[in-house]
Amino acid sequence: MSKIKPSKGAPYARILGVGGYRPTRVVPNEVILEKIDSSDEWIRSRSGIETRHWAGPEETVAAMSVEASGKALAAAGVDASRIGAVVVSTVSHFSQTPAIATEIADRLGTDKAAAFDISAGCAGFGYGLTLAKGMVVEGSAEYVLVIGVERLSDLTDLEDRATAFLFGDGAGAVVVGPSKEPAIGPTVWGSEGDKAETIKQTVPWDRFRVGDLSTLPLDSEGNVKFPAITQEGQAVFRWAVFEMAKVAQQALDAAGISPDDLDVFIPHQANVRIIDSMVKTLKLPDHVTVARDIRTTGNTSAASIPLAMERLLATGDAKSGDTALVIGFGAGLVYAATVVTLP
């Protein structure tokens, strides 16, 4: 018989507060069109994006995370000293080590909280939320801060007609803590690594360590291009529309609810056409509020779901206690979906 004592965590976990930060600079499609042969009408019709936010020099990954986290802590009524773990999902923190989560935990004033980064692309918030739920229920942390943050403007090739208009910057954070009733459902998650080439970084970082730079891509002026995110748009669209609708339905089934029981749908803000197609495939009733934050925020990868959640609550389009289906999907290809009660 094991001599290990059982964990003394909470019976359930819930999201207690959410916060967001969008950089001050708003970038309209006209700025994007300076580098690519397209039109405002084409960008809006293909993606739904009208504007996006790009971070300035002072709006670092850490700085945006601290701002969003402060709002989430205030909304939850939880002091930073009570945070037991900080989980940060990002692909745009360019120092391999240490994890940016450690700096954020320190700047927030946590009491030596566990802190680590995860790389799960646009599904990163769902991955972090699942880890946080496990920590609260298991008892290794009473409160967990989950952050999705990106400076994707640093990874955007402004001459790539397929992706130049897509990406934005920002940070979203939630505080996860104990609950007396189920408020975060089972997570349906996974990966399809055989499709990894459909969304990827153009060149690996170690290519810049080689003396001969002739194998690296060049811009229109003959300068070596910084690594950027590239994707096969049609392949990603088909996968997201058909496969992710199935995953979303599985998350509903796992939570024991039907589309009629939903109040809110918060999908990853990748493309309005993908969102609308998923709504149709899932046969969501008209009463379900659908997040379309992408119109003014762009695709912020791991930050997109908490940013969309924060905006819906701030505008009154969603309210505390609503039942929401959240699903993230992206590079890897990875995905994560669950049903939550909004804070």
Residues assigned a catalytic role: 122, 268, 299
Contacts of 2 (CB under 8 A, 6+ apart): none
Kindly give the pairing relationship between strand 25-28 and strand 51-54.
Answer: antiparallel
SS (H, E, C) 60-126: CHHHHHHHHHHHHHHHHCCCHHHEEEEEEECCCCCCCCCCHHHHHHHHHCCCCCEEEEECCHHHHHH
Element (H, E) at 277: helix 272-282
> Residue 175 in contact with residue 309, Cβ under 8 Å?
no
| DSSP structural state of residue 203 | S
CA-CA distance, 271 to 257, in Å (whole number)?
26
Name the burial class of residue 223, with classes exposed (0-12), middle (13-18) and buried (19+) by CB atoms within 10 angstroms of its CB: exposed
Angle, helix 40-47 to helix 272-282, in steps of 10 degrees: 30
CA-CA distance, 317 to 338, in Å (whole number)?
20
Which residue, among 298, 297, 303, 240, has the nearest Cα to 91 in the 3D structure? 303
Strand pairing partners for 56? none
CA angle 240, 243, 246 (to 5 degrees): 120
Name the burial class of residue 218, with classes exposed (0-12), middle (13-18) and buried (19+) by CB atoms within 10 angstroms of its CB: exposed
CA-CA distance, 56 to 23, in Å (whole number)?
7
